[in-house]
Amino acid sequence: MKLPVQEIVDKYKNNIYAAAFSICANAGDAEDVVQDTLLQYYMTHTNFDNEEHIRAWLLRVAINKALNIQRSFWHRHKVPLEDYMETLSFETPESRDLFAEVMKLPEKYRAVVHLFYYEDYSIREISQILKTSESNVKVRLSRARAMLKESLKEDWLDE
């Protein structure tokens, strides 16, 4: 099966953007990732099993593209994260602090954290999306949680 591109845009554009931003920390690069990912979907001949398969594919492609941008010399000027955050409408100061502290985590931790807490994927599913071992995902998630607990104190609960 394959859903129309317009339906993908309506349903997943912001999920792709958020996943890309969580790695790039840069709106311009994240927008480029969204566009390239949608284009990749438009071009792909993959026969998806179901919509969940499509969602995982979109996030994997977006994360790979975001990581490729990060590793490349070819990335555009960065707008300082603080400046970009000034343009975002956080509901509460706690939300803003959480966002800021997550973005301070090492890049490889952010991808795992985002897929776990925002996209509700299990450790096994994240290992498949990121093509790494479950133990590696567990280690990164555990270290990220410890860092967030250290910085956010009571606003991040022990799990």
Partner 1 sequence: MNKATDSNRENYKKAFSVLESSRDFDLEDEKMARLQKNMIVKRLVAAAVICLVVIGGTGTAYAHNVGGIQQIVQMWIHGNQTDVTLDFDGEGGYKMSYTDEDGNISESEGGGIAIEPDGTERPLTEDEIMEDFSDGSNSIDVVVDEETDRITLYYLDQAQDITDEFVDGYYRTTVNIDGQDYYITVAADGAYSVSPDKYEDVYEDD
Catalog residues that contact partner 1 under the rule CB under 8 A: 5-6, 9, 13-14, 16-18, 21-22, 27, 30-31, 34-36, 38-40, 42-44, 46, 60-61, 64-65, 67-68, 71-78, 80, 88-92, 94-96, 98-99, 102, 108, 113-114, 116-118, 120, 130-133, 136, 139-140, 143, 155-159
- 44 near 50, Cβ under 8 Å? no
Give me 94's structure tokens. 């706690």
Q: Min. distance of Cβ 54 from partner 1 in angstroms?
A: 14
In the complex with partner 1, the residue whose CB is nearer, 1 or 120, is 120
Q: Min. distance of Cβ 155 from partner 1 in angstroms?
A: 7
Q: What is the C-alpha separation between 132 and 125, in angstroms, rounded?
A: 10
In the complex with partner 1, the residue whose CB is nearer, 51 or 103, is 103
Q: Min. distance of Cβ 52 from partner 1 in angstroms?
A: 18
For residue 61, with 0-12 CB atoms within 10 Å meaning exposed, 13-18 middle and 19 or more buried, which class applies?
buried
Q: Min. distance of Cβ 51 from partner 1 in angstroms?
A: 19
In this structure, which amino acid lies at residue 33?
Answer: V
What string of DSSP letters covers 97-150?
Answer: HHHHHHHHS-HHHHHHHHHHHTS---HHHHHHHHTS-HHHHHHHHHHHHHHHHH
